[in-house]
Amino acid sequence: EERPQFPGASAEFAERLEFIQPNVLAGIPVYRVMDRQGQVLRPDEDPQLPKEQVLKLYKTMTLLNTMDRILYESQRQGRISFYMTNYGEEGTHVGSAAALDASDLVFGQYREAGVLLYRGYPLELFMAQCYGNASDPGKGRQMPVHYGCPERHFVTISSPLATQIPQGGSCPSPCPPSPLRVHLSPGARGASEGILGGFGGFGRQVERYSCWRWRWVRGVWRGRFSPSGFPAAARGPGYGLLSIRVDGNDVFAVYNATREARRRAVAENQPFLIEAMTYRFYLPFPPFPRIFLLFSSIGHHSTSDDSSAYRSVDEVNYWDKQDHPISRLRHYLGRRGWWDEGQEKAWRKSSRKMVLEAFEQAEREPKPPPHLLFSDVYREMPPRLRRQREELERHLETYGEHYPLQQFQK
């Protein structure tokens, strides 16, 4: 029997003219470990994490949720300029962070705070960054949620879409001390960027890529990015990437996929693509077990967005009542006898206290001195920046009474 001999083609001949219609192809299956009630479906897929680690997963997810609520409300009160919550995506952050080595370099997108929180980034620094105060490692130069931490191997976040792809591709190989080159998380909208195609092919040829983690967030009309319903994972095979689609509301599914991709990336020196399917919520969930009965809120893209313009209340109600990454893990903990209502109430109270203490500390701190606006751009400050700095200093000396200089360090 004749078969095509074209280089790179693995297929059969067809004698009937027939175009492939994207709307009739079967979708890629979504890998999961637990059902929505926290029941493990296949015992051999259970990662069998110890109690202490599962509790760390849960506490990190709920602490992130609490921090989100307080910072979101603080923006609405005019205390910070901008904020982006992580509601509904906690499982993708924490599941992947737990599966990586602590020294693996992460290029995160603008909704990635859970990775840093799992790695031990202090609440005080989250708050300092959002307030842009003197304790902010970025010296108040970045917009809120652009976190970064060299000590925790987390590259500073940037808002433009899919910048993680060329950044990761340009990363030195390897990135000591970790054998893993990079872990990229371009986010849902990164799948719509043209850079995906260029670096998709390029990443297969070099040793620098390890794992791309996409999150497909159903908080946006799907047709904007993929009318056929075939987003990121379907594109991977065309670029030679081993790909999988996982249930992003299942922290164990994200953990298993990331752990296996990392293992094989290091052992086989090839890239992987993980697409996690999630849904972005608005307000944090109420205490278990009344998780989906009290809220029918709409999750906004950011504090500058009104998501009611592009999704219905019925759609949000469905997800509120059916699934949430934190509730699924809470169900699992309950089944194992590792968590009860008393522990839940105590943790909620103590975690909120921790966040509020960090919040109040950040609010009391002054802003960095204005002259830092010009430093750290070049190794040696060029004459034009020195002139600009001197002009600003003279201006503030003359007209300082018109500015809130008391809020800044001298």
pLDDT of residue 382: 97
Catalytic annotation present for 296: no
Catalytic annotation present for 170: no
Quote the CA–CA distance of 143 and 317 in Å, as a whole number. 32
Catalytic annotation present for 193: no
Q: Residue ranges per domain, the chain?
A: 27-364, 370-407
**Which residue among 158, 159, 228, 296 is the active-site one?**
159
Instruction: Write out the two tokens for 37.
Output: 């009630």
Please give the model's pTM, rounded to 2 decimal places.
0.84
pLDDT of residue 294: 21
Is 104 in contact with 183 (CB distance < 8 Å)?
yes
Is the predicted pLDDT of residue 291 greater than 90, yes or no?
A: no
Catalytic annotation present for 73: yes
What lies within 8 Å, CB to CB, of 279 at 6+ separation is: 88, 217, 218, 219, 249, 299, 319, 323
Q: Half-sphere exposure of residue 243, counting CA atoms within 13 Å on the CB side? A: 20
CATH 3.60.70.12 fits 27-364, yes or no: no
Q: What is the mean pLDDT of residues 187-207?
A: 55
- Taken in order 129, 184, 94, 219, is the CA torsion positive or negative? positive
Quote the CA–CA distance of 285 and 327 in Å, as a whole number. 8
**Which residue among 192, 226, 296, 302 is the active-site one?**
302
Instruction: Write out the two tokens for 144.
Output: 């809120």
Q: Kindly indicate the confidence band of residue 288, based on its pLDDT and cuts at 50, 70 and 90.
A: very low
Edge-to-edge order in the sheet of strand 272-278: 154-155, 106-107, 183-184, 211-217, 272-278, 242-247
Is 109 in contact with 164 (CB distance < 8 Å)?
yes
Q: What is the mean pLDDT of residues 88-95?
A: 92
Quote the CA–CA distance of 305 and 89 in Å, as a whole number. 18
Residues 40-69 have pLDDT tens digits of 999 999 999 999 999 999 999 999 999 999
How far apart, in Å, do the first and last CA atoms of the chain sit? Answer: 83
For strands 242-247 and 211-217, give the pairing: unpaired
Residues 144-185 have pLDDT tens digits of 999 999 999 999 998 887 777 777 766 765 555 555 556 666
**Which residue among 146, 226, 297, 301 is the active-site one?**
301
